[in-house]
Amino acid sequence: MTQAEATNTGAALAPPEGLGGVVADWSSDQRAFKKVPWGKAMMWIFLLSDTFIFSIFLLSYMTVRMSTTVPWPYPSDIFALSFGGEPIPLILIAIMTFILITSSGTMVLAVNYGYRSDRVRTMIYLLITALFGATFVGMQAFEWTKLIVDEGVRPWSNPFGAPQFGSVFFMITGFHGFHVSVGVLFLFIIARKVWRGEFDTGKRGFFTSRKGNYETVEIMGLYWHFVDLVWVFIFALFYLW
């Protein structure tokens, strides 16, 4: 017992900060990402790979848009919507942007209340986040329907201009919408776990057979914020450019 106490000095040494800390962390012959649960490090690495996927989509969009000799359709007019009066440019996309940012805010609150072990508030904010996400997907479905049925946009042609517009639009927003949909599904799963108190009792998960804790909510939050992050880029580069 005394021996164990004498050798257990690891916690007393604070790891160095700054650039020296980077070198120390990576060369420590231990885990490189200290003070981060493995699930969070893995989620970040997944998000990095996802970043590359979306980067490639946006890059191919840039390439076809720069190389087409036909004028590119003007998104501001295509995504305009009129509420009985003059059509307001891009209003649908603006509302979707605000909905996604609002959901990011409620997600942050859920993570925060999770670490305070406020089970009920965590669940409520997770559910609100999921509902905002579902609203976003619903509006996207409306947008797709409008473009496909009313305007006749196809992946190979559209009435506005360069035919590549359709394929780029369906590919990028479709892949992003899929991410949001998966996120909503996961939000409901995590909310159910919080509701049943599985992070308090340490019940083992049905999928990983590991004991969950409230860090899971933060890891879920990382994914959700990433979905919002990607939308920031899509909104700027596809809709506004």
Partner 1 sequence: MANTEAHAEVHTEAHAEAHPEGQQHPLGIYIKIWALLFVLSACSYLVDYVGLQGYLRWFLILLFMLMKAGLIVAVFMHMMWERLALLYAIAVPPILVMVFVFLMTHEADNTFSLRGLFFGAGP
Q: How far is the CB of 145 from partner 1 (least distance, A)?
A: 23
Residues within the interface to partner 1 (CB under 8 A): 1, 4, 11, 15, 17-19, 21-22, 25-26, 32-37, 41, 44-45, 47-48, 51-52, 55, 59, 62-64, 66-70, 76, 89-90, 94, 97-98, 101, 104-105, 107-109, 111-112, 115-116, 214-215, 218, 221-222, 225-226, 228-229, 232-233, 235-237, 239-241
What's the CA gap between 99 and 95, in Å, rounded?
6
What's the CA gap between 208 and 167, in Å, rounded?
38
CB 239 within 8 A of CB 90: yes
What's the CA gap between 239 and 241, in Å, rounded?
6
Q: How far is the CB of 189 from partner 1 (least distance, A)?
A: 20
Sole residue written with tokens 């509701």? 195
Q: Which of 141, 240 has the CB closer to partner 1?
A: 240
State the Cα angle at 76 between 71 and 81, rounded to 5°: 135
Q: How far is the CB of 70 from partner 1 (least distance, A)?
A: 8
Q: Which of 34, 204 has the CB closer to partner 1?
A: 34
What's the CA gap between 37 and 186, in Å, rounded?
19
Q: Which of 22, 120 has the CB closer to partner 1?
A: 22
The torsion region of residue 219 among left (phi > 0), alpha (psi -120 to 50) and beta comes to alpha
Q: Which of 132, 214 has the CB closer to partner 1?
A: 214
Q: How far is the CB of 192 from partner 1 (least distance, A)?
A: 21
Three-state DSSP at 88 gives strand
Q: How far is the CB of 205 from partner 1 (least distance, A)?
A: 18
